[in-house]
Structure formats: structure tokens, C-alpha cells
Structure 1
Amino acid sequence: MARRGKKKGRPVSGWLVLDKPVGMGSTEAVSKVKWLFKADKAGHAGTLDPLASGMLPIALGEATKTVPYVMDGAKVYRFTVAWGAERTTDDLEGEVTATSDKRPTEAEIRALLPRYTGIIMQVPPQFSAVKIAGERAYDIARDGEAVVIPPREVEIGRLELVGRPDDASAVFEIECGKGTYVRSLARDMGRDIGCYGHIADLRRVEVDPFTADDLVTLAALEQAAAEAAPRGEADAEGRIVDPRPDKERFAALDALLIDTGAALDCLPAIPVSDDAAQRIRLGNPVIVRGRDAPVEAPEAYATARGRLVAIGAVEAGMFKPKRVFAG
């Protein structure tokens, strides 16, 4: 008996900017979104810890090719540091490893901020996805072994104290680059002040180029998905056969997506004709036309009638495709 092939998903493409709730892991969120959209493939642009909430950009279909550009984008977090205790995970999940009765003054906190602005060296948390000799740091730490993680360079564009609910906590907002661990920041600030600290609340509010206006809650997503639930008569095997075309059935869900090309706002855009788009999709270079067109660009993207055609480079006035998108 021949094996039945794995059912393919819909060829839907775009970005879903999920407002991830606390308690849900990033991988779990991607799986849920992929299932709701019946998408053929999906991925996310930057892990968000289960205890953190906020912006998790999820790429569907062809948008997965643009994930690196969102990964490299600046991120903004709002977080609360609880003073007086350090924990194994640098957040509420871990065990307390050190305590202090000292509580920092506002002046002490503000005096510390310049030390954590600009390009700094940072040691990732013991419980992190950093690889040590081929193993994830959190796997080594869970086995009870000491993890020696070398410091790495990260960039913090802005770090501000935005509130002090009480003497035992402080609220900050940070704009930072790829690879920055906010949990490490809380740990290091606590050590520098001499009072210890850990993350009590963490929310990602922006991932460039997306903003808070792009966020979609899980409730809104599930409500739209309800419109796509199968309707119709059952077949001989008891499966519901929905007579609606996919475009109509998934209209409410697809309306929540942001165009794939939005992830490439950081690159020069090269508009091309339909004929040029066809040549590009076959892997051929084309002449870049237009008064404002770049003569040289290490990275750029081509569009035809507003639709993304390819990512490539402009060399000597020619657009040379490197990654092509379906028409």
C-alpha cells in the first residue's frame, strides 16, 4: 500500500506581528500561527523567553527569506528589575543564589546608565541558547554544571530609567541591537550597585521595522481563525468539505498579515518592469533604470508593481539577484 504524502500547507506569505503572551514559548507561538494559517512554512525573528511578553514577528511562506533583516533590526524592551536578589536564570524562574538588604537610590541608578550605553561587553545568562562546545548553555546549566560563557560585544543605543514603583524595583526602557540579553543587564546592574537584581517583568515593544501599531493579540488571531473553520457537508470519511475558496475562507486571517517586503525597509528599493522581473526570477541581472537608482549597493531589493521580486546587489548599474521570490 502506497504511503499517503504529507499534506502541504497554503502558499501564504507575509509577516504576522504577534503580541506574545507570558507563558508561551517562541517555538510554540510559531507552531500555533503556522497551524492557524495552514501555512506551508513559518519562522520567527528573534526568540522571546516564555516569561516575556510582547512583539514576536513571525514570518510565513516567502517572508521566511527576509528573517535575517528583521533579526538585525533594533529592538526596544521595557523591563522591571527587582533589587535584592540574584537568581540562576536572572529572572523569576530561577533559584535565588545571592541576596542583599541594600536598595539603590535613584541617583545611584542614573549614575550607572552611561556604563551600559554604546558598545559594551556582556556575558550572556547561564540559562541561554548560547552554544558552548556545541551544546546549548541552558542544557549544561540544567545538568548542574558550571557554564563558562565568554563575554561578547553588544550595542545599546538607549537605556533610560522610566519609573520606580518602590524602593525594591525600577522600570527601564532599552533600545538595543542583536544579541543583547536584558536579563544579563539586570544581573550586572545589581552587581555593580552592590544590591543584586533580576528581571521581574519583560516586554518587547518594538522590533524594527515593526511598531506597536502592528501588534496582533492571540485573541484577535483566534477570532479571525474562527472564520476559516471548515463549513460544509462531511465526506465519506467524515471530514468536512468546505466549498469556499481559500481566498475567501482565510480572508480575515490574511488581512492581519504585513507584506513580506516590509522587512526590507532598510535596503534601497529598485522598481523594475514585468519583463525585467521575469528575467530576475530566472536568475539573470538587469539594468537598473531611473534617475534616483543607485549605481552601487551591496544589498537592495527589486519590486514589480509593488510586489517583491528578489534581493540582490547593484554593481555597475546592474541589479544582480541573490534570493528570488515567487511571483
Structure 2
Amino acid sequence: MNTMTTSDNAKATRLSGWLVLDKPAGLTSTQALNRVKAKLRVRKMGHGGTLDPLASGLLPLALGEATKTVGYIMEGLKSYRFTVRWGIARTTDDGEGEITEESAARPSREAIEAAIPQFLGEIQQTPPTYSAIKVDGRRAYDIAREGGDPQLEPRPVHLESLDLVSIDDRDHATFVCTCGKGFYVRALARDLGETLGTPAHLSALRRTRVGAFDSEEMIPLDALEAMDDPQALQHYLLPVETALADIPALALTEAEANRLRSGQSVSLLKRANLERLRELENGDVVCAKVQGRAVALARFEAGAIRPVRILHV
């Protein structure tokens, strides 16, 4: 039961920052977001990096001003723990789809470990047929659900690391991986099977990291919904600039910050500014700060910084 008072709700609408939600399996990312939004009475929310309904784990939720920074965490690395089911291929490359192929062949630990290196680094990966990628203006999964065969081309993706955690039983093996933007773990499970001489699909998936957010900061959805004290949320609310951990920070004076807030550019051509600009290149986006507080996302161009997004935090 939600016991927030009217004044509590009014306060909640002004929340800005990041919540690292532990999404349960069985919900879409949007369904999970909407449940949090209803609980907190937050007018503006977004999420960073969609999780499939069958997946659980880390779903970063942006509240208020943090929605302006969502795009910057999409570029970060993501980590997963996942289980592959050997011997069965499915239309969706996960446990939801119809069986398309079966085999009694099972890979050994030695064969699995020997296959891993070929998947590391920059590789070409064909996305799952049931994916949100557009083909001729339509989502591939919509075409597939109507009985069509969307032609998806291989595309470059990055797999930072892949480790075999355990052979759970004859049919299952569990792995951990860290990957870049646009990588499909379902496709990795499928391709591992093909390389090892047996059909395979993803049977379990849990995300443990997205960019600067990790599993230690997560709050389960049911725990959040059970909160009666709005102040308890502050323990889990991370600053807006958490999503900007990989973006250079640039300290400003109060006068410079005020110019940015009003939409004006700030010239940094004076010799005194050379140290501040030492590691910046033309076109870089920076997190402009005054006294440690984020003021704006700004772009450094031709010796000046120009506001991209003003942050009211």
C-alpha cells in the first residue's frame, strides 16, 4: 500500500537522479519503469538500456533532470551473467520461442574454453530474428511474428570479456561477459552452440552492470514498492552526473556557469585556461561544473564551450 501524503507526492515530483532497479524477470523494462513512476509520482522518467522480459537485473532509471543524461550511459559497457542451454535451438534464441532444431551433442569444458577467444574483441554478429532492429522500416520481431523472415545483416559489435563460470549439468553452462553497445547475448548463446557443433539458446540472463552503475547499488522492485517513508529513497538515489562518469569534467567559475545557464557560450581562449583545456579536443562533450555541482552538458569547440543541455540540479 502506498502511504505517501499529498506533500510527499509533491516533493517526489521534483526528484532528480538515478535509481538502479533490480528488474524481475517477467516484466518489460517499460512495465517496470511505469510501476516505479506510479509509486514515486515522478512526472519525467526514462531508462538506460532495455532488458528483455525474460531477463532480470540492473535497469538504470533516470528521474527528472537525469533524463537529459540517458544517452550517455547507452555508450557504456554492460555486464551479464547468463546460462546457455545446449542441444536445442529456438526461433527467438531464448526459452520463449518454438524449437527449430535438437541434437544429442554436448560440448566439453575444454571445447567451450577453446572456442571463447574467437568471440572476443571486435566481431561481426547477426542479431536475433526476434529483435527490435528495423528492416525496411519495420521491427524485425513484428515481421517474424507475422511469419516473415527478416533479413538481418551481420554488424560490428564488441565483446570485452567472456568467461565460463560453471558446467551446471549436461545441458547447461553458465558464463559472465562484458560487452559494448548493440551486443545481443541471445545471439552469443546461439553462435556458441553453432561453433561447438550443437544447437543452443539462452535460458537465463541477468544484467549486473551498465556503464557506471553496478549491482551493489540495485534496489529490488518489490522493496521499492513496499517503501512507506519517501526519505528512505534518498539512500538509493544517485546524482544526475553519475551517468557522466566517462565524460570529462570541466570546472567553471560562477560567472561562467551563469553564462551557460542562460544559453550563452563561454570563451576559454585566455592563457590562464590552458591547464583546464589540456586534455580536451575540439568537439568533446564535457560535464560543466561549479563547486562540484553539474551545471550543463557542453561542447568544446573553437576555444569555447557551448551548452548542449542545461542541468537544473
Q: TM-score, normalised by structure 2?
A: 0.90
* 2:174 matches 1:194: no
* 2:245 matches 1:265: yes
CA distance in 2, matches of 1:221, 1:306: 29
* 2:139 matches 1:133: no
CA distance in 2, matches of 1:290, 1:260: 26
TM-fit CA distance, 1:60: 1.1
TM-fit CA distance, 1:287: 4.5
Instruction: Find the counterpart in structure 2 of residue 279 from structure 1.
Output: 259
Report the aligned-residue RMSD: 1.8
* 2:273 matches 1:293: no
TM-fit CA distance, 1:125: 0.7
Q: Which runs of 4+ in 1 moved over 6 A?
A: none
TM-fit CA distance, 1:304: 1.9
CA distance in 2, matches of 1:199, 1:146: 21
Instruction: Find the counterpart in structure 1 of residue 55 from structure 2.
Output: 52
Q: Which has the higher contact order (CA 8 A, sep 6+)?
A: 2
TM-fit CA distance, 1:79: 0.4
TM-fit CA distance, 1:275: 2.5
1:1-327 mapped onto 2 (5 Å cutoff): 10-224=13-227, 226-227=228-229, 250-288=230-268, 292-295=275-278, 296-297=280-281, 298-315=284-301, 317-327=303-313
CA distance in 2, matches of 1:135, 1:92: 24
Where does the alignment leave 5 or more consecutive residues of structure 1 unmatched? 1-6, 228-249
CA distance in 1, matches of 2:252, 2:235: 26
Contact residue 18 and residue 58 of structure 1 kept, 8 A: yes
Cα deviation code 1:207-258 (max 9, x no counterpart): 111112111111321132x23xxxxxxxxxxxxxxxxxxxxxx322244211
Contact residue 294 and residue 314 of structure 1 kept, 8 A: no
Contact residue 119 and residue 153 of structure 1 kept, 8 A: yes
CA distance in 2, matches of 1:256, 1:188: 38
Contact residue 37 and residue 253 of structure 1 kept, 8 A: no
- Matched-pair identity in %: 45
Where does the alignment leave 5 or more consecutive residues of structure 2 unmatched? 1-8
Contact residue 36 and residue 225 of structure 2 kept, 8 A: no
CA distance in 1, matches of 2:148, 2:305: 52
Q: Give the number of aligned pairs.
A: 298
Change (3 A) 1:146 1:316: closer
Q: TM-score, normalised by structure 1?
A: 0.87
